[in-house]
Structure 1
Amino acid sequence: MRKRFLNSPTAYALGMFAMMVPSQAFSSFSHYYYVEKLGLTIGLATLARTIYLIWDAVNQPMAGYWSDRTRTRYGRRRPWIFAAIPLFAATFIMVFAVPNGLEGTGLFAWFVVILILFEGAATILWVNYGALFPELFKGDRLRAKASAVTQGYQIVAILIGSAATPLIYKALGFGTMSVLYAVIFAVFMLLFVLNVQEKEEAASAPPLPLREAFRETLKNKELWFFYLACSFAQTVNGLVSSLIPFYAKYALRIEEAQVSLMMASVFVSVIPLVGVWYVIVRKLGGYRSWRLAFVVYAISVIPAWFAQGLAGGIAAGISIGFGLAGFLVTPTVLSSEIMDRDAQRTGRRREGMYTAVGGFLTRSSGLISALAFYIVGIIFHYESGDNPGPNPEETFRYLLTVVPLCLLAVSFVISLFLKRTAGPGDTAASPGGGGLDV
């Protein structure tokens, strides 16, 4: 039984579940907690995110490079994951366990330091976790299946990290909530890492030197176009997660206790819709499905502009869920193909470096999200929960509909620069599932 579970899509998906429970709580409520609850100004919050992104630009490629160079009897990726588990758990707790009395500059300094520490631990986990995917799963069919299973587990984690979080912090407080999620993360992350085994042949070739590794990675046009398109769409994911508490309060005018229902409308609907997108990928192939997902996602945010009250918010949430499901399922197959083509060209597996550079590009969406929040906030004079301005309702309707629509339009335009060709992952059973050409 354990042999069948070893390296299975379900075993791999446990890692996604483990990381996404605290990560979703962080992305959905850290901004809300510091700005709305603790009174940190939106300007300082944006500055903190900018500092975090500069740090991210440094640690992502280095984490990938050192992961690719690692050679142990336990593999290249697993030792890094083991080491990062306690660091990630501890820093996540520190995000929400803010010492009493901090405000102004002191609160800002705490937020910056914790962002840097939390991001460092998260980078090690995500880079090494993502690098395992193309090694463990070969071919479009298996990768589409593994992606669908993984995203199903991710959505369950997102549901816990978003919809359940308001209930938990209201009953127990933010600090206790962070401890609970840290324990959940550690248990499931250990279950994941103990049930995956790296393949020896993947690490047989010596790694490229640092300069050459960067040069080979950065000159890959497929990588840049793919991840740039994903970066703008990922910004929408972050906006949806982080803005729902604000949108529910100011636009829908529902009570804080009902925010969980609004969150659930988005993420519960995604679970069955992931299966729908798996079928779409099988029918259209990875490239066309990926491009279609941007269009569907853009259309799906429009109902949120017109929604009124809890019922309207739930209907809008279900619509957003369909678009979100498409973007969760479709990118993984294409990113794995890019890594396969690189391995064919260089003779080396460099999943760590590719995952790191791609992770930086997509996670730079955090800055785009923060800048969008800041600019729209200035336009409508929203500063913080203490000073929401004269029209906070319109502020958050724009942020949840108009801004995502524009960002997804940019993603779609960038996706047009990628052309479908036959690739190493093609199979007769996967029409349209070829590689990419620029």
Structure 2
Amino acid sequence: MGQGKAVNSPWMYAFGMLAMMIPSHAFSTFYSYYYVDKLGLGLGLATLARTIFMIWDAVNQPMAGYFSDRTNTKHGRRKPWIYASVPLFMIAFVLVFSAPEGMSQIGLFTWFLIALLFYEAVATIIWVNYGALFPELFRGDTIRKKASAIQQGYQIVAILIGSAVAPILFNALGFGSMSIIFGFMFVVFMILCMRFTQEDTAYRDTPKMGLKESFAATLTNKPFWIFNISNSFAQTVNGLLSSMIPFYAKYVLRVEEGMVTVLLASIFVSVIPLVGVWFWIIKRMDPVKAWRFSLLAYAVSVIPLWFGSTLLGGILAGIIVGFGLAGFLVTPPVVNSLIIDRDFAETGRRREGIYTAVSGFITRSSGLISALAFLIVGMIFGYESGDKPGDDPETTFRVLISVVPLMLLLVSYILSYFVRLRGEEDDGHHG
């Protein structure tokens, strides 16, 4: 540990979250708007591309975790994967937002699909390996809560940059230039994170599980599955709200494109102090109950979006959503760490990689729910693309930004009652 206190500090590790979330959030917020509304790709083809990606993601997520767990080099298990992926991720991100002009529908679909598959494959390798470092670097409740808090702070800064700064950049310079700027930011912050991350050599010699055995142990962990499926419905809402805001601003609030930044900032700036409020709340509660309460608060918070009709109304509704979103950002990491700790206690194996990968896949599957919701609601109200918005695009996007999220969060809340962690009542006495 010769490099001093900065090595493996939560502050330096969280730069990885900042690095990944700036492009990831810009991607999830604007790729639908870019391909469907700007370039005119039909909703059916866009949904087909998402479906093919989901099948691909189902394979590459768990494999990334499995190979990461079995890697054994003098530089560690996770870092070599991350370093190798850094330049590839930047290239993939730029490709997503650099579709050539004047392509046919099939040409545009092909570009979108290939860029999407490449982007997600590299992103998967980085997310799985970065996430797998967390339980290894930070052991014990106190340091984990601190590290998680700092990570969420960095994440919110990244979300602000990825959502609120992106429209300023693409309005001034175009989508391609925005992606290059964000790509460079990713490279700088991720290398900074890795420079001050040192893996524990003791874990190189822990017993390794075979692929079949590893999956069997993960598949039979009931709390893990219910927790992640419940979260995937709530995660769908995160993606749906972000990606629908540009449409909501245009068709419901009828404000110019530049104001999308103000609208997104209202949600994410409000999240920063509200994260502090949620930490104050969950300190006094059992982790599972706090997580359940955050899902209910999130469900209630999306209702006011239905009533927005002016920029001011949209901003006020956005601030209320910020409260629900803050709770959902803060509470799941604490519950997830409990589940991974219990697995280690029962199996004696360090399997952060496979757990991070499988939960990542379940969470990413939320993208398909979001794409299907967009397609179904679009078909009901006649919205096809920016070129063919149908007779009532306003109602289309009111339903997509308020009614659909409310239904998904209620499903998530009901499922949360089936998560039982043995001995969770005792945790307060040990923390």
Same fold (TM over 0.5): yes
Please list the CA deviations of residues 104-124 of structure 1 after superposition, one character each: whole Å capped at 9, or x if unmatched.
000001101111000000000
2:35 maps to which residue? 34
Displacement of 1:427 in angstroms is 5.0
- Quote the Cα distance in structure 2 between the aligned partners of 1:333 and 1:204: 27
**Cα 1:363/1:389, change in 2 over 3 Å:** same
**1:127–1:359 contact (8 Å) kept in structure 2:** yes
What is the TM-score normalised by the length of structure 2? 0.97
1:242 aligns with 2:232: no
Displacement of 1:428 in angstroms is 3.0
> 1:400 is paired with a residue of what secondary structure?
helix
Displacement of 1:75 in angstroms is 1.0
Displacement of 1:337 in angstroms is 1.4
What is the TM-score normalised by the length of structure 1? 0.96
Q: Which amino acid aligns with 2:35?
A: Y
Q: Percent identity?
A: 60
- Quote the Cα distance in structure 1 between the aligned partners of 2:197 and 2:287: 25
1:381 maps to which residue? 382
**1:144–1:281 contact (8 Å) kept in structure 2:** no
**1:17–1:156 contact (8 Å) kept in structure 2:** yes
2:76 maps to which residue? 75
2:189 maps to which residue? 188
1:352 maps to which residue? 353
- Quote the Cα distance in structure 1 between the aligned partners of 2:417 and 2:6: 39
- Quote the Cα distance in structure 2 between the aligned partners of 1:89 and 1:337: 34
**1:228–1:362 contact (8 Å) kept in structure 2:** yes
- Quote the Cα distance in structure 2 between the aligned partners of 1:425 and 1:39: 55
1:114 maps to which residue? 115
- Quote the Cα distance in structure 2 between the aligned partners of 1:277 and 1:8: 23
Displacement of 1:279 in angstroms is 1.7
Please list the CA deviations of residues 389-434 of structure 1 after superposition, one character each: whole Å capped at 9, or x if unmatched.
111111111011110001001111111001244369935374xxxx
1:150-165 map, 5 Å: 150-165=151-166
Structure 1 stretch displaced more, 273-282 or 168-177: 273-282
**1:203–1:349 contact (8 Å) kept in structure 2:** no
Q: Which amino acid aligns with 1:250?
A: Y
**Cα 1:304/1:64, change in 2 over 3 Å:** same
Structure 1 residues without counterparts, runs of 5 or longer: 431-438
- Quote the Cα distance in structure 2 between the aligned partners of 1:328 and 1:16: 13
1:435 maps to which residue? none
Displacement of 1:143 in angstroms is 1.6
1:335-350 map, 5 Å: 335-350=336-351
Displacement of 1:225 in angstroms is 0.4
1:271 maps to which residue? 272
Structure 1 stretch displaced more, 141-150 or 303-312: 141-150
1:116-155 map, 5 Å: 116-155=117-156
Root mean square deviation of aligned Cα:
1.4
Displacement of 1:176 in angstroms is 0.5
1:246-257 map, 5 Å: 246-257=247-258
2:395 maps to which residue? 394
Q: Which amino acid aligns with 2:334?
A: V
2:330 maps to which residue? 329
1:352-371 map, 5 Å: 352-371=353-372
- Quote the Cα distance in structure 1 between the aligned partners of 2:132 and 2:413: 26
Displacement of 1:345 in angstroms is 1.4
1:211 maps to which residue? 212
- Quote the Cα distance in structure 2 between the aligned partners of 1:69 and 1:219: 21
Q: Which amino acid aligns with 1:415?
A: S
2:168 maps to which residue? 167
**1:337–1:425 contact (8 Å) kept in structure 2:** no
- Quote the Cα distance in structure 1 between the aligned partners of 2:272 and 2:286: 21
- Quote the Cα distance in structure 2 between the aligned partners of 1:195 and 1:425: 35
- Quote the Cα distance in structure 1 between the aligned partners of 2:205 and 2:392: 60
**2:223–2:420 contact (8 Å) kept in structure 1:** no
> 1:283 is paired with a residue of what secondary structure?
coil
Please list the CA deviations of residues 22-79 of structure 1 after superposition, one character each: whole Å capped at 9, or x if unmatched.
0011000011000000000011000000001000000000000000000111111111
Displacement of 1:281 in angstroms is 1.9
1:436 maps to which residue? none
- Quote the Cα distance in structure 1 between the aligned partners of 2:139 and 2:426: 7
**1:232–1:411 contact (8 Å) kept in structure 2:** yes
- Quote the Cα distance in structure 1 between the aligned partners of 2:425 and 2:128: 23
Displacement of 1:242 in angstroms is 0.4
- Quote the Cα distance in structure 2 between the aligned partners of 1:364 and 1:293: 21
Structure 2 residues without counterparts, runs of 5 or longer: none
- Quote the Cα distance in structure 2 between the aligned partners of 1:424 and 1:79: 40
**2:286–2:425 contact (8 Å) kept in structure 1:** no
Displacement of 1:2 in angstroms is 5.0
- Quote the Cα distance in structure 2 between the aligned partners of 1:163 and 1:103: 31
1:225 maps to which residue? 226
**2:382–2:391 contact (8 Å) kept in structure 1:** yes
**2:235–2:363 contact (8 Å) kept in structure 1:** yes
Q: Which amino acid aligns with 1:281?
A: I
1:412 aligns with 2:413: yes
Q: Which amino acid aligns with 1:75?
A: G
Please list the CA deviations of residues 300-326 of structure 1 after superposition, one character each: whole Å capped at 9, or x if unmatched.
111111112110111011011111111
> 2:14 is paired with a residue of what secondary structure?
helix
- Quote the Cα distance in structure 2 between the aligned partners of 1:287 and 1:4: 33
**2:244–2:397 contact (8 Å) kept in structure 1:** yes
> 1:5 is paired with a residue of what secondary structure?
coil
Q: How many residues align?
A: 430
Displacement of 1:142 in angstroms is 2.1
- Quote the Cα distance in structure 2 between the aligned partners of 1:18 and 1:219: 34
Displacement of 1:342 in angstroms is 1.1
Q: Which amino acid aligns with 2:223?
A: E
1:297 maps to which residue? 298
Please list the CA deviations of residues 252-273 of structure 1 after superposition, one character each: whole Å capped at 9, or x if unmatched.
1111111100000011111111
**2:70–2:208 contact (8 Å) kept in structure 1:** yes
- Quote the Cα distance in structure 2 between the aligned partners of 1:268 and 1:138: 31
Structure 1 stretch displaced more, 273-282 or 357-366: 273-282
- Quote the Cα distance in structure 1 between the aligned partners of 2:115 and 2:135: 32
Structure 1 stretch displaced more, 108-117 or 418-427: 418-427
- Quote the Cα distance in structure 1 between the aligned partners of 2:25 and 2:38: 18
Please list the CA deviations of residues 144-163 of structure 1 after superposition, one character each: whole Å capped at 9, or x if unmatched.
22111101110110001101
2:315 maps to which residue? 314
Displacement of 1:94 in angstroms is 0.3
